[in-house]
């Protein structure tokens, strides 16, 4: 008897469904229905911006700033300083509650992040942005000085107003003793005026502290151009700002709040001490730090060899 060559239904192999013709593997593509593995060169980090392009973008920002009216610069400058003051007061509060000054300084960048997001004008940032526009041939030199002057005035007015408002609110118009945050700011103001104790060398040291400060701080608007996403910008801006504040360098706009509020809170500092032994030399140092190291040297090396 011959063996049967027929198979029952249960013995027959189950046909497998063919994959879709254009179904690619993860990260790859398809050619004539066949998956092609992805190559490393197919992936591009879209959030990063090269330094040469950063310089061109900053020059465009300088052009935009140059077109602001005087009243616009004053308003944006006025609104800027309170956000730095909020962050400075927060850091002072943490110190009063037992934090180290270095640890409290790591929180300071929240103020700059807020003012930058709102498009306000901070003089120390313009100390690097505006000269880059000038070097690019987009902004005239006298317009750079105009922007700096009106921005500084707006920053000063904002610092004076917020200092009075904070003091008035926390002391009930002077009827109550200053709380810990104000006494900490008063001690800070006295420390910042102590350059007077060292004479001419102290004055030069204040200039140096201003240079060290704004070599970092004026990088914030530069670093903001190194990323396209908001999280990337925030992270990059945080680094130089936290470093400067934690190290205790001198920032002219922050001092436009610290000295007025410190004096109101009882700091043993005169207006002469404030301006002659801090505000003037620190402002000069802030200009030099931004102008020499960032606006000139950094921009130059990337503009000639992009």
pLDDT tens profile 29-64: 444 445 555 554 444 556 789 999 999 999 999 999
What pLDDT score was predicted for residue 147?
98
pLDDT tens-digit series, residues 162-178:
999 999 999 999 999 99
Extract the tokens encoding 24: 């690619």
What pLDDT score was predicted for residue 35?
53
Residue 28 has pLDDT above 50, yes or no: no
Question: How much is the mean pLDDT over the chain?
Answer: 89
Domain range annotation of the chain: 51-304
What pLDDT score was predicted for residue 269?
98
Residue 112 has pLDDT above 60, yes or no: yes
Q: State whether CATH 1.20.1080.10 applies to domain 51-304.
A: yes
pLDDT tens-digit series, residues 210-232:
999 999 999 999 999 999 999 99
Instruction: Say which residue, 17 or 209, is predicted with more confidence.
Output: 209
Residue 9 has pLDDT above 80, yes or no: no
What pLDDT score was predicted for residue 45?
55
């Amino acid at each position: 008897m011959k063996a049967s060559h027929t198979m029952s239904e249960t013995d027959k192999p189950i046909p497998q469904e063919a994959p879709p013709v254009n179904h690619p593997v993860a990260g790859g593509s398809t050619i004539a229905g066949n998956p092609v593995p992805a190559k490393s060169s197919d992936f591009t980090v879209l959030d990063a911006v090269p330094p040469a392009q950063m310089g061109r973008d900053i020059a465009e920002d300088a052009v935009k700033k140059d077109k602001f009216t005087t009243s616009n610069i004053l308003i944006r400058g006025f609104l800027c300083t309170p956000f730095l003051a909020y962050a400075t007061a927060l850091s002072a509060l943490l110190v009063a509650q037992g934090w180290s000054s270095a640890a409290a300084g790591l929180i300071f960048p929240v103020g700059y992040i807020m003012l930058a997001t709102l498009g306000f004008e901070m003089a120390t940032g313009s100390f690097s942005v505006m000269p880059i526009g000038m070097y690019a041939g987009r902004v005239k030199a006298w317009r750079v000085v105009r922007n700096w002057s009106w921005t500084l005035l707006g920053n000063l007015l904002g610092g004076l107003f917020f200092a009075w408002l904070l003091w008035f609110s926390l002391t009930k118009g002077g009827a109550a003793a200053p709380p810990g945050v104000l006494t900490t700011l008063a001690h800070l103001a006295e420390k910042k005026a102590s350059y007077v104790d060292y004479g001419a060398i102290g004055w030069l040291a204040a200039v140096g502290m201003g240079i060290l400060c704004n070599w970092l701080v004026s990088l914030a608007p530069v670093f903001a151009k190194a990323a396209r996403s908001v999280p990337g910008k925030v992270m990059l801006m945080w680094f130089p700002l936290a470093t400067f504040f934690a190290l205790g360098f001198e920032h002219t706009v922050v001092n436009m709040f610290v000295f007025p509020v410190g004096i109101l809170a009882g700091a043993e500092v005169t207006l002469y001490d404030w301006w002659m032994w801090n505000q003037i030399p620190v402002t000069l140092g802030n200009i030099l730090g931004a102008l020499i190291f960032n606006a000139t040297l950094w921009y130059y090396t990337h503009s000639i060899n992009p």
